[in-house]
Amino acid sequence: MDHQSRLDELGIRKRQGSYYTPDDVVDGLLRACLDPVLAELEVRGADAVAAVRILDPTCGTGNFIVAAFERVRASLIRCDLTLDVAASHAIRCVAGIDLDADAVDICRTLLVRAAGGGDDARSIVERNVTCADSLIMARRQPQTLFADDDELGGDWETFMTEIDAASGFDVVVGNPPFLNQLQRETTFTGAYLRAIKERFGDVARVYVDPAALFLLVGLDVLKADGGRLCLIEPLSVLSTRGAAGVRRELTSRARLSGVWFAEEPIFDDADVEVWAPILQTGIDAGAGVVAVLCGRSVTESGTTKPLDPDDDSWGALLASRAGVPRREWATAGTLADFASATADFRDQYYGLADHVVDRHDGGADLPKLITSGLIDPAHLLWGERETTFNRTRFSAPRVVVSELSEDLQVWARKRLVPKVLVATQTKILEPIVDGDGVLLPSVPVVSIEAPVDALWRIAALLVSPPVAAIAASRHLGAALSADALKLSARDIGSLPLPANEHWWNVAAVVFEQASASVSESERFERLVECAEAMCAAYGAADDHELMRWWIERLPRSSTLHRAQREQETSSARDPFDSASAEVTALPAEVS
């Protein structure tokens, strides 16, 4: 039984985040981040190669550092050293740290075996591969957070000096554990969270995945000039608000020279999409393009623009790979200038759980409960499609408001007002207008309140292709799927308004028509018209590429896509031409 299987059997694998990297991915990432370093050193000879230092701060059983050892040994052989001499030097070049003592023992055994055995190799490996918590080891002060636990003690200065890496590591590479702080099974204890905050300060927000913090650890111990950092991360680190402080710190201290997207599952039994940055120190942050690598084979797939240090999100990296259109938009202000967005939390979700009934009929005291699955663009699916709430299927969910706690009754009254409701975890933002204020949103539906005469304008803005592209460039990667959008209430408030009021008002009229449509084909046509008008409002009139991208992102399970397919098969005309013609024919007085 391998170590991962043993952790599974003990029921602690998920809690520890112990999912080891497959050999082909290890090989590809080392090819990207270590091989260029070795190639430069080989020009200077064996002594230069033998001085290289490589660290995996969460080494597990040693997938990365054993493979790194083999690469350094091969490099030394190319410098005319014999196999045995090359191995004796290469074993000093790799180092690893891990909390799992059993994994450390396995890693040591595999390294000694790879080096050909012997007491010298064993002594070096026992020094270079140690059991500790690299996340909270201090760089320039002794570790005191776990003073009563000598095994997990130590500090970076001592460790690095002992392994001849006092000036920093040339390469930091690995696969840190993913410990989602929104999942109870992997959340930090209060004491450990305090230790994390003491170590990292303000960047250690409550919901930051520690995998992101390992990037800062790696940067701290990297050589100040010419060091390379490559750690596998969950896709959410690209754009979630919790990791924003980490991204700012990385951008200020290093340059992103490459990015890898897995684009397929690589960990058995771990439902997480991953990527890896390749960061370099000592290089002008604005210099050069970013190399894009993809797939398990880590194959080069073009380049993208360098990061803007002022960008709060790195979602543009994924957006570029996903083919999100990039434009210069004509904007004026943000949605927060005249509307307020609100997202509810677990308290509301669980507070409603015992007070939802399945009834098609009902009055004001039995408002309809609206989940994300009951919202399509301009179409409320309540009563048409079943939905799941609190692990129970409903065909017509309503909330018995009179049975709620006093606090939740106050909350319900605040939500039962005219508003726009927006579904999340979708490929475009999917709004509906609740002009009568009779719908009660369920987490994670976002509510947007504004003057009643502005609601249709807000919905037209949210559903538009420009806003879909803007949201994707900012937030792609934050959702459960790499291709979906997940925006917080604050994110929605920060969306830019279009500069052209006339076309915005046209789009609002057409969105209202789409919402009143009784047939799927008519709704689809009106949404296309609305989208065309909003493109014009943002200064992207007649942008067929943008429109086609947006149409492909309409909800595929919905009647909209059936209507789209029917229209495509029944007409050979360009749908954009007909849509544009109909939009321009609308009366000017709507503005």
- Whether the bond between 444 and the residue before it is cis, its omega within 30 degrees of 0, is yes
Q: What residue has token string 């990015």?
A: 259
What contacts 72, CB < 8 A, 6 or more positions away?
A: 38, 49, 52, 54, 89, 90, 93, 94
Gyration radius (Cα) of the chain, Å = 28
* Cα(322)–Cα(472) distance, integer angstroms: 9
Dist CA 471 CA 500 (whole Å) = 20
Q: Give the three-state DSSP class for 290.
A: strand
Q: Calculate the dihedral angle through the C-alpha atoms of 498, 502, 503, 509, rounding to the nearest 10 degrees.
A: 110
**Which token pair is 106?**
């396995």
Q: Please give the helix or strand (H or E) that residue 514 lies within, else none.
A: helix 501-516
State the residue for tokens 């929605």.
492
pLDDT of residue 207: 65
Strands (E), 335-438: 340-343, 356-358, 368-370, 375-376, 379-380, 387-389, 392-394, 397-399, 419-423, 430-434
State how far the Cα of 127 lies from the Cα of 130, in Å rounded to an integer.
7
Q: Are 203 and 237 in contact (CB under 8 A)?
A: no
The DSSP output letter for 428 is S
C-alpha–C-alpha distance, residues 298 and 431, integer Å: 38
Identity of residue 149? D
Tokens describing residue 135: 């996340």
**CB contact at 8 A, 286 and 293:** no
Who contacts 89 (Cβ-Cβ below 8 Å, separation ≥6)?
A: 46, 49, 50, 72, 76, 81
Residues of the chain scoring pLDDT < 50 = 1, 3-18, 139-153, 180-186, 285, 567-591
Q: Which two tokens stand for residue 542?
A: 């007649």
Q: Which of 302, 257, 306 is nearest to 281 (CA)?
A: 257
Cβ(254)–Cβ(263) below 8 Å: no
C-alpha count within 13 angstroms, C-beta hemisphere, residue 33: 35
Please report where in the chains the tokens 């040591």 appear, as a residue.
108
Q: Which of 570, 561, 573, 424 lies closest to 484 in space, CA to CA?
A: 424
pLDDT value at residue 183: 44
Total residues found in the chain within this entry = 591
Tokens for 100, please give them: 């799992």
**How confident is the model at residue 409, as a pLDDT?**
95
Residue 31 has phi, psi (to 5 degrees) of -60, -35
Per-residue pLDDT, 190: 63
Contact assessment for residue 225 and residue 280, using Cβ atoms and an 8 Å cutoff: no
3-state secondary structure of 150: helix
Which of 572, 468, 555 minimizes the C-alpha distance to 520? Answer: 555
* 554: phi then psi, degrees, rounded to nearest 5: -60, 150
Comparing CA positions, the residue from 100, 31, 19, 32 lying closest to residue 63 is 19
Q: What is the 3-state secondary structure (H, E, C) of 316-346?
A: HHHHHHCCCCCCCCCEEEEHHHCCEEEECCH
Which token pair is 246?
Answer: 């980490």
Tokens of 212: 């992101």
- Please state the φ and ψ torsions of residue 290, each to the nearest 5 degrees: -100, 120
SS (H, E, C) 176-240: CCCCCCCCHHHCCCHHHHHHHHHHHHHHCCCCCCHHHHHHHHHHHCECCCCCEEEECEEHHHHCC
Q: How far apart are CA 29 and CA 31, in angstroms?
A: 5
Is residue 3 classed as helix, strand or coil in its secondary structure? helix
Which residues pair with residue 98 across a beta bridge?
131
Q: For the chain, which domains are there?
A: 14-228 (3.40.50), 340-590 (no CATH)
pLDDT at site 142: 36
Q: In what order do the strands lie in the sheet with 368-370?
A: 356-358, 397-399, 368-370, 439-441
Residues linked to residue 498 through DSSP beta bridges, in sequence order? 331
Tokens of 141: 């002060």
